[in-house]
Amino acid sequence: MVRRIDEKPKWRQWLMPRPINGVTSLLYVGGIVIYSYSYSLGLYPNAPPIGVAGGIIFLIVLALIALDRLEYLDYNDYPPWRILAMLLTVRISLILLAGLSDGFGWLFNNTLLMLLIPFAIFALFGSSYGLSGQAWVLYIIGRTRSVYGDNPSFERAPDLIFFIVMGMTFIFIISMAYLTRQEKNSRQQTEQLLRDLETSHRQLQNYAERVAELATTEERNRLAREIHDSLGHYMTVINVQLEKAMAFRERDAAEADRSVENAKHLASEALKDIRRSVSTLRDASDSFSLSQALTNLVNNLETSRFAIDLKIEGDETDYAHQSLLTLYRAAQEGLTNIQKHAQASQVTIHIQLESQAATLCIADNGQGFDPQILAKQKNGENYGLRGVKERLELIHGSFKLDSAPNGGTKLSITVPKDPLALPRGG
């Protein structure tokens, strides 16, 4: 059996569960010693036989010792108030019974046992000195009246010494009770702090796990957006070029070959874009030119079924990389959707870079649609626009989509110059 170094054996836990139990046990045994000594000196010739009274007192002392141990083993240092009050009543009753059973007069030679009454009261009620003192004063009055009658006198030196010694003993006992209570309060505070620390530690672990899960989810979503926005666009355009090549294969072989060449070129551009995306994921500090990226994007669509008018106003020099990339991905997604659904012949892309924010407007003259359709679609559908919205949420941007059947479509995006900058007051 493995036992901790600081763990007491069971027999020691029973005999001495707490250091203060040693003090109370000495007081209990001291009561028996005083009783036996007084009886042997014959100070009280009218006392009953020692076998009867001594047996009762011995059993009471055993009961008091057992009560201390049972209290600690059952409730440790924190029994409920109702149990505390009940145990205090039982102790006082046992001590009074011992005093009445010695045959020497009311509470005479079990004075050490009587000291446990103020000790127990003080330990229970804390700094209520009045309760402890009152219990002791009542005992002194009772003892004095029992010894001296109605006219007590302190002229006899032994009795005076007795009162002085017992008074000093009382002060010592109260001091012990005070230190015991202080130690108990300190231990309670320490244990509470340990419990709070354990609770905080568990909460921090839960928070750390939650943050890790959120970070993983966010990174997964970011990768999904990058894959969709980059590969999705190029695959759509490549598909259009290959369909064109198949359609013109019989009628115009040269045009079909040009479409295949365009598809090959777009595949090469898609590979480059993937490499750029991977590089960006590894190092976000890489330079990115929005105007150059949009120009390349438009040039790759020159052979599409619609004409593109690109207009960029303002300076992108001090703009955050994430803001510029969001504008580019939004333009890329917009052109992809136009190519797949709009059946447009004219597309305009207008970007305006201002001092605090930038706006992107993509408009086409296509067949349009009812925007309410987007709200009815499931999460797995129209992932591209949802990805654009997620990007905008990360940088506190805004999104607006206007369209109507046979009325074309207009997509407006606004992004801050620096998503991490604090808003200016005033």
Last residue of a domain, one of 152, 181, 198: 152
Among residues 152, 171, 189, which one ends one of the domains?
152
Is 176 part of any domain? no
**What is the per-residue pLDDT for 291?**
92
367 vs 383: CA distance, rounded Å: 21
In a domain, 107, yes or no: yes
Q: What are phi and psi of 165, to 5 degrees?
A: -65, -45
Q: Is the pLDDT of residue 387 over 50?
A: yes
Assign residue 375 the CATH number of its domain.
Answer: 3.30.565.10
The pLDDT, as a whole number, for residue 78 is 64
Query: Could you tell me if residue 110 is inside a domain?
Result: yes
In a domain, 353, yes or no: yes
Of residues 266 and 418, the one with the higher pLDDT is 418
Three-state DSSP state, 105: coil
Report if pTM > 0.85.
no
Token code pair at residue 56 = 């009762």
pLDDT value at residue 20: 64
Number of separate domains in the chain: 2
Range of the structural domain that residue 369 is part of:
303-420
pLDDT at 426: 44
pLDDT tier, 2 (very low <50, low <70, confident <90, very high otherwise): very low
Q: Which of 136, 152, 168 is the last residue of a domain?
A: 152
Res. 73: pLDDT tops 80: no
Backbone φ and ψ for 400, nearest 5 degrees, come out as -145, 130
pLDDT of residue 416: 94
- pLDDT per residue as tens digits for the range 10-55: 555 556 666 666 667 777 777 677 767 767 776 666 666 666 777 7
String of DSSP letters for 140-204: HHHHHHHHHTTS----SHHHHHHHHHHHHHHHHHHHHHHHHHHHHHHHHHHHHHHHHHHHHHHHH
Residue 123's pLDDT band (cuts 50, 70, 90):
low
Cβ contacts of 100 within 8 Å, gap of 6 or more: 106, 107
Mean residue pLDDT of the chain comes to 75
Confirm whether 15 is domain-assigned: yes
Q: Residue 251, Cα to own-chain centre: how many angstroms?
A: 71
Share of the chain above pLDDT 90, in %: 12
Element (H, E) at 350: strand 346-353
Instruction: Note the pLDDT of residue 364.
Output: 94
Going by pLDDT thresholds of 50, 70 and 90, the confidence category of residue 245 is: confident
In a domain, 405, yes or no: yes
- Report the pLDDT value the prediction gives residue 175, as an integer from 0 to 100: 73
Whether 230 maps to a domain, the answer reads no
Is residue 52 in some structural domain? Answer: yes
